[in-house]
Amino acid sequence: MKRLHLLCTLLCFLSVSGVDGKMTSGHDDARQARERKERHGKQSPEKTVYLQDYLDLDPSSSEDAAMAIGKAVDECRKIGAERLVLPGGTLNIMPDRASERYEYISNNDPSMKRIAFLLDGIENLTIEGNGTLLMLSGFVSAFSLDACRNITVRDLSIDYSHPFVAEGEVAAAGEGWFEFRFPEKAGAVLDGGILCFRDSCGREYPYLTLLEFDSRRREVAWHAHDYWLGDRCRAEKTEDGNYRIDRGDFGEAVPGNIMVFGAAARLHPAFTLLDCSGFLLENVNIWSCCGMGVIAQCSRDIELRNVKVEPSPGSGRMISASADATHFVNCKGYIRMIDCVFRNQKDDATNIHGLYMAVERVIAPDRLLLKWRNSGQYGVRFIKPGMSMELVDNETMMSYAGIKVKSVEYLNSEYAEVEFTAPLPGNVKENHVVAEDDGYPDVLISGCYIGNNRARGLLLGSRGRTVVEKCTFHTPGAAILLEGDGNYWYEQSGVRDLLIRDNVFDSCMYGNKSWGSACIAVGSGIPSRESSRYHRNVTVENNTFITIDNRIVNLYCVDGFIYRGNEVRESSDYPVCGSASDRIIINDCSNVEID
């Protein structure tokens, strides 16, 4: 009887603990049994936390795993865990019980954010995904890392039950009007004559832009451009259930194509890295997010290996991330993207740059009042005592002095007062800009596919050695763009050693003509170009250009350009535009070699 009583007690405990798999959808019982055997048998020398243990303790975890995730992360922090093991299957994550904090993220929108995996001050941790799908619902981010060191995340996927963009088929179109057919899951409704999109919980998903995509090619439609709708768009519902919008600026649209209503804000990147060092993202799929796939700010030594930003298989969606696939701001050490796919995101594949703050006023011989002029950079506190900085003329974008920071006082999210270790030069004046001038990252982008997205491919602005090799580009605008300016975006660039080799540029430049002046181009905002040599040492060699637009290279303000060993042939898939005389355009450059 005693043995029978113990057996019954054990069975009851196992049932409550969720061993039958009902607590977390899609988990494999056999795998769970193996993991329990590992935990309760011979212990590994590693300190390991199993998320399943925390899911078992929360009866509601099948509907929302956020609280269990938070407790598992807390345990990792407490014991200095080396591994956090996810259970596989699908984890549903809601914003209601997720961690929360206010975040300023460059080139995204600041806000109070709910976050599933909030890692702050954690070191030497590997998150083993085991093929887990993180299915998020509503306004919640998947990962945010702050002041972390040596973190690896591998083998998982990120998706949202309701994406942050809306997609509707063009049912009909005419001059000044479009008519759309939305699937039921889009949640299209009229509220006081305003077109809204809501999920099954009633959450509303604001939109701002409209862009046409080719439904057959699964890419931006031929020479399509953005329509800016504002935050409220009036519509009417037709007798057959479609939605019609009348606007004087609407032009042509192809019935059967997909119109994408772009998200109004960038609120929830999939991965945010703030002041981190040593991050590896491996075998990870980002199928949807509200903002960028990966945004790293003031961090170093970052590698993405076999990371895919693309629409979830079988979903029928056109769009993956609602903004850039990746973005790196004021980073150091190395940035590596190897064997990745950046497809169908709503903006560029990557943008690698520093930050410029503008001189608002010279308040003392050794002191400046600086201001963020781009609201997308508010709250980023990158200036630190001891930092080497450059003073830059915003007309030529050329650096004219080096200075070192003695102290900094951030007055608020827009202004900072900075004292320097020596007097400033006499020619510093209002509207000049300052940026960090130390520790630029070496960049390697190798074996990646980049295409089918809105706008451009790679925006490269690191002054470290940058190599782009063995990639395939199919971008609607410039495949590689050298940016940087101190008058609008306030993004520091100015490459110093860029090698572009052994790539295939396949039928690029099929989108809006404002998205780049050539396949490889400079797009820097430099008002006075004649004497400026903002970029240096660019080599383009042994690439294949399959052209539909004859504009291959368009450069200005470059000192040192080599073009050699490249093959050019016309595409048979699209109409060919432009003249052969436009193939290579060089203005205000020095030391140019073209074979």
pLDDT tens, residue by residue, 172-184: 999 999 999 999 9
Same domain, 402 and 549: no
Same domain, 475 and 570: yes
Burial class (CB in 10 A: 0-12, 13-18, 19+), 303: middle
Domain final position from 343, 375, 404: 343
β strands within 372-496, DSSP E:
388-392, 399-410, 415-420, 433-436, 442-446, 449-451, 458-460, 465-469, 472-474, 480-482, 491-492
Q: CA 366 to CA 428: how far, in whole Å?
A: 11
Same domain, 158 and 174: no
pLDDT band at 132 (very low <50, low <70, confident <90, very high): very high
Same domain, 196 and 211: yes
Same domain, 527 and 408: no
Looking at the predicted structure, is the pLDDT value of residue 169 above 80? yes
Q: What is the pLDDT of residue 45?
A: 61
For Cα atoms 356, 463, 342, give the angle at the middle one, nearest 5 degrees: 90
pLDDT band at 231 (very low <50, low <70, confident <90, very high): confident
Q: CA 447 to CA 315: how far, in whole Å?
A: 26
Same domain, 74 and 145: yes
Q: CA 73 to CA 10: how far, in whole Å?
A: 28
The reply to whether 6 falls in a domain is no
pLDDT band at 146 (very low <50, low <70, confident <90, very high): very high
pLDDT band at 134 (very low <50, low <70, confident <90, very high): very high
Give pLDDT tens digits for 310-361. Answer: 999 999 999 999 999 999 999 999 999 999 999 999 999 999 999 999 999 9
Give pLDDT tens digits for 540-550. Answer: 999 999 999 99
Q: pTM above 0.85?
A: yes
The reply to whether 109 falls in a domain is yes
The reply to whether 5 falls in a domain is no
Same domain, 88 and 138: yes
**What's the token pair of residue 306?**
């076999």
pLDDT band at 28 (very low <50, low <70, confident <90, very high): very low
Q: Which domain holds residue 407?
A: 355-436
**DSSP for 305-349?**
EEEEESPPTTS--S-SBSS-SEEEES-EEEEEEES-EEES-SS-S
Give pLDDT tens digits for 359-410. Answer: 999 999 999 999 999 999 999 999 999 999 999 999 999 999 999 999 999 9
Same domain, 152 and 277: yes
The reply to whether 154 falls in a domain is yes
Range 525-547 average pLDDT: 98
The reply to whether 220 falls in a domain is yes
pLDDT band at 22 (very low <50, low <70, confident <90, very high): very low
C-alpha 111: how far from chain center: 17
**Count of domains in the chain?**
4
Same domain, 127 and 170: no
Looking at the predicted structure, is the pLDDT value of residue 234 above 60? yes
**CATH number for the domain that contains residue 388:** 2.40.30.10
Same domain, 289 and 155: yes
Looking at the predicted structure, is the pLDDT value of residue 122 above 70? yes
Looking at the predicted structure, is the pLDDT value of residue 13 above 80? no
Same domain, 424 and 486: no
Q: What is the pLDDT of residue 34?
A: 44
**What's the token pair of residue 446?**
């190798």
Give pLDDT tens digits for 441-472. Answer: 999 999 999 999 999 999 999 999 999 999 99
Q: What percent of the chain has pLDDT over 70?
A: 92
The reply to whether 574 falls in a domain is yes
The reply to whether 188 falls in a domain is yes
Same domain, 483 and 539: yes
Domain final position from 279, 313, 343: 343
Burial class (CB in 10 A: 0-12, 13-18, 19+), 353: buried
Q: What is the pLDDT of residue 579?
A: 85
Domain final position from 243, 263, 283: 263
